[in-house]
Amino acid sequence: MKPRSVRLAPAADHAREKRETAAQRLAEQQERLRAAEHQLSELRRYRAEYALDGAAAVSVSALLNRQQFVERIDRAIGQQLLDVERQRRLLEQAGANWRAAHARERALESVIGQAREQERKSEERREQNDIDERMQHRNPRRRS
């Protein structure tokens, strides 16, 4: 029968792969959040610039068009705010998934380390028993 540490190795490999996948997803989610925040910043900057440029409208229809356009920008900002919040929640979830995968990997590494230590001690005991047995056969005790 294979030693316990060897039997647990595939589970440790699987845990490592899960942790690596979770880390990749976390990095991807961080990038998505960064992009959503950048988009929100750009929309806000554009709205501020457009509001400043709109002070010199010449006609009522131009003012109405400008007002409608600003309202569309405001709606886009509102939607982007929702997206940023959603991306933050997804980032929190991805972080929790990574932490759980990391903890599982470390736990398996610990169990394997303990198993290897037990296997090493068992092997040392076996070797010592073999030595003791050989010494007994080599130097039989003499009876008086």
pLDDT in tens, 14-44: 999 999 999 999 999 999 999 999 999 999 9
**Which residues, including other chains, have CB under 8 Å from residue 43's CB and lie 6 or more apart?**
73, 76, 77, 80
- pTM here is 0.76
pLDDT in tens, 122-144: 999 999 999 999 998 887 665 55
Measured between alpha carbons, how far is 25 from 73 in angstroms, rounded to an integer? Answer: 31
Please count the other Cβ atoms lying within 10 Å of the Cβ belonging to residue 114: 12
- CATH number for the region 4-135 comes to 1.10.287.1700
- Cα dihedral sign, 69-74-79-83: positive
